[in-house]
Structure 1
Amino acid sequence: MLLLLVGCASADPESSAPTPNPSGQVATDGSATPTASVPATRLPGTPATPPSQASPAPKPSGSRAVPAGVRIEVTRSGGFAGLAETVVVEPNGQWARDGSGARSTGWLTATERSRLTALLSDPRLGREAGDHLREGCADTYRWTLAAGSVKVTYDECLPPGDRPAATVAVVTYVIETAA
């Protein structure tokens, strides 16, 4: 395997000198954005945090596996009778439960929405994404949680220690709350 790294450099040697951003921070790559390896410094007489940086936007790749305000869908299928049931919770807290020819709807309370948001903020959800299936299970349920870009599927017949714990917590909460 051949790995080729290519970079660009300015023809003007003076333009390659690092320049500070408004708060006096300088990155090692010459940009005005500090990197994690360079301690942030500020010039005398400047505020510790510029007003434009006082409330930075959340990073999309932060520790949250599921960003706040996404549609949640929990599906249960299988079992002895071949059940198919879906519960959808919208970002505003409205939920709909469909299955076995019946439909019910309702709203989560503010407290229930807060609890669901807390469960969805568990960073383990991102690590649990994917399939957690067991061959040879008969008459068992298969659960799927879809929330944002995270999708987790697991068989209920898995031993409790092998189940995706954060996903099971969200699924259980949604099923019990949207009843």
Structure 2
Amino acid sequence: MKKKLTCLVFPALLLASSFCAEASTEDQSATLSISGAVVADADALCNISAKASAIYLRGDISNLINLGEVANNMTFVPLTIQGNEACVSQLKEGRFSYKFVGVADSIEGKALANASEGDSAAQGVAIGLFDDEGRPIDINHTVVLASQNRAQGIGFQVVKLNGKVATAGTVHGVLTIDVERL
């Protein structure tokens, strides 16, 4: 019987993600409150929001993509910046960007590391970050220009670390989405 991967990713300014790889297909529920603000001056008041409160990813451990490959089964979380007229004007001018910050994997430093420990922790895997077309985004390095495009956001998929054997188990990571004014 193929082992199934069950993932739970919480997106927000402080993005907590967890992933379980197990033989069963039990659903796990979660609640997340999403809020945040981007303020540089009183004239341009902006808020960032993620369009999901919980995401469940399922996959077959024998079919995980390798770190650095294009996503084939990602769950996408749209991100939006909204605000007053001055905020929208700056957004149209390309003056905001997203940067995804967290503990990077120990192999290539490009994906969100698995912070789970113990016998139940998955080994040889990380949480890959992807743009809206499934292209990998390097954690802590890649800056994504924010826009009003409704398809903008971040995708998540469990990835196999190059040179490692992936084993079923839990995966946990914490990701911060920084919004920077350019």
TM-score band (shorter)? Answer: under 0.3
More strand by share: 2
Which is bigger in relative contact order (C-alpha 8 A, separation at least 6)? 2
Bigger radius of gyration? 1
In the superposition, the TM-score normalised over structure 2's length comes to 0.20
Question: Which has the larger share of helix?
Answer: 1
